[in-house]
Amino acid sequence: MEWGAYLKDVLDRKYTACFHTFPSYTADPDAYLYRWFHSKGAWNTLGFNDPEVDALLQQGRTNPNPTLRREIYRKAQFRIAELSPAIYTWRTRVASGQQSYVKTESVTPLRRYWEYFWLDK
């Protein structure tokens, strides 16, 4: 199915269930959680709306203290899990085995792309 048509059907609630990825390209939980789970989040295709989650995500987004942010986002994630607006599966973006001469500048759970590799041979 063409992507635009699929998204229109999802937003029109044509399906009772759908499968698509929820990517985040940063370790900051705000980049992921606010988009998908705040009632006014840009990618809230679920139509999820919970005042407690909204308040926690707003607090996390505006609090500069890393220790407090960690606790705020922990509470938000537990609340989201409790309400279960989505069922998550897991898959890896890239799986690879490599020789010792294949080098990389960084590999993290959020980033493993081939443009950051080179051969030292």
Entry pTM: 0.65
What topology does CATH give the domain 3-83? Answer: Dipeptide-binding Protein; domain 3 (3.10.105)
pLDDT, mean over the chain: 80
DSSP assignment string, 38-96: STT-TT-TT----HHHHHHHHHHHH---HHHHHHHHHHHHHHHHHH-SS------S---
End-to-end CA distance of the chain: 44
CA distance 82 to 76: 10
Alpha carbon of residue 9 to chain centroid: 21
Cβ atoms of 104 and 81 within 8 Å: the answer is no
Cβ atoms of 61 and 32 within 8 Å: the answer is no
Q: pLDDT below 70 — which residues of the chain?
A: 20-25, 88-98, 105-116
Give the per-residue pLDDT at 106.
56
Give the per-residue pLDDT at 67.
94
Give the residue extent of every domain in the chain.
Answer: 3-83, 95-121
